[in-house]
Amino acid sequence: MIDLAKRKPDPLPAFFPPCLAKLSDTPPDGAGWVHEIKFDGYRLEARIHEGSVQLLTRTGLDWTKRFPSLAKALGGLSITSALIDGEAVVETDQGVTSFVKLVEALEAGRSQEMLFIAFDLIYLDGVDLSPAPLLERKRLLEAIMKRSRSKHLRYSAHLPADGTAMIAEACRLGLEGIVSKRTDQPYRSGRNGDWLKIKCVLEDEFVIGGYVVSSVDAKAVGALALGTFEDGKLVYAGRVGTGFTNSSARILWAKLQPLKREAPAFDTPLTALQRRGVTWVGPELVAQIAYSTRTGDNLLRHASFKGLREDKPAADVHRPAAASVCERAALQERPRKLPKKRGQR
């Protein structure tokens, strides 16, 4: 157990790069792991110092002004200084976090609808907690969050349960998935395997490489050409033509105009059908996309646009390496076609 009173004061970091979860096909089971709900929002690091609050994205961008209600709530915590790892979210009427609703709230300036869900504590009142094991950090974090009466703040509880059972329950409830974490590890920046994410549905970031103009509005997007980076090359991943609102389609069109270029930025050959009607753009914007599965040549199926990811550089968007629980189940349950016998119709 950490004795905060006996620790030599550590300087408060300006920013601590976050621990990132690796994508996994299945959750780990057994001792040494706990499991939390995976939230569908924007990852934020709350930096608190003597009543002043900064909300930093996973790349260190200062987004405090975009989340005034959350900053005010965090400033009211009974602490002098802290670095709290969490997620800004908006919930649906069913209590499920929704990235689409978060983007809509951000665009409309409705920060009063947002929650900050805290799931780790990196620094507290002069003490660097990153070397401490996860459960000790979470014990201190839970105590802090329990003292808050703000409706905008919430603690992310964990379960030391069977990971397989928890992902099944998460999928049944319509959640995005779970994050499984090593209980005995320090807080380490980067994607090191201490945290694993297991998804119920497929939803990932893709780079926008082009767009098709809407058939009903000349200043709106009707579809996007998407890609991911592999070994430094932009590889075509298919199109998305649904999920746009009138507002998001026009906002996207405006954001893409300064990025227009004559030739595609994709390094893979494109068919005539894939090129048809596309205005090419530089690969700078990142879109959050939900989809049902991928084809044998890694093109998206039944893709739907959810919003722009302004917190992640395009160069960091790589092809997902694991499938969702639903996709694996669909593949396992898909009926096998038996070869017809000669003469059979």
Q: Which active-site residues does the annotation give?
A: 38
Mean pLDDT in residue range 132-161: 96
Reported as type and span, the H/E element at residue 91 is: none
User: 276 in a domain, yes or no?
Assistant: yes
Q: 162 with 23, same domain?
A: yes
Q: 40 with 172, same domain?
A: yes
Instruction: Say which CATH number the domain at 173 has.
Output: 3.30.470.30
pLDDT tens digits along 226-267: 999 999 999 999 999 999 999 999 999 999 999 999 999 999
User: 11 in a domain, yes or no?
Assistant: no
Mean pLDDT in residue range 279-293: 95
Number of domains in the chain: 2
In degrees, rounded to 5, the angle at the alpha carbon of residue 270 between the alpha carbons of residues 268 and 259 is: 80
User: 4 in a domain, yes or no?
Assistant: no
Q: Which of 199, 222, 243 is the last residue of a domain?
A: 199
Closest CA to 301 of 332, 323, 333: 323
Predicted local distance difference test score (pLDDT) of residue 341: 36
DSSP string, 241-291: -SS--HHHHHHHHHHHGGGB-SS---SS---HHHHTTPEEB-TT-EEEEEE
Instruction: Say which CATH number the domain at 281 has.
Output: 2.40.50.140
Q: 166 with 95, same domain?
A: yes
Q: Which of 199, 227, 242 is the last residue of a domain?
A: 199
Closest CA to 155 of 135, 138, 171: 138
Reported as type and span, the H/E element at residue 139 is: helix 134-146
| Domain membership of residue 301 as a residue range | 202-330
C-alpha 52: how far from its chain's center? Answer: 26
pLDDT tens digits along 74-96: 999 999 999 999 999 999 999 99
Mean pLDDT in residue range 199-228: 95
pLDDT at 64 over 80: yes
User: 221 in a domain, yes or no?
Assistant: yes
Q: 181 with 320, same domain?
A: no
Q: 293 with 207, same domain?
A: yes
**In this structure, which amino acid lies at residue 260?**
K
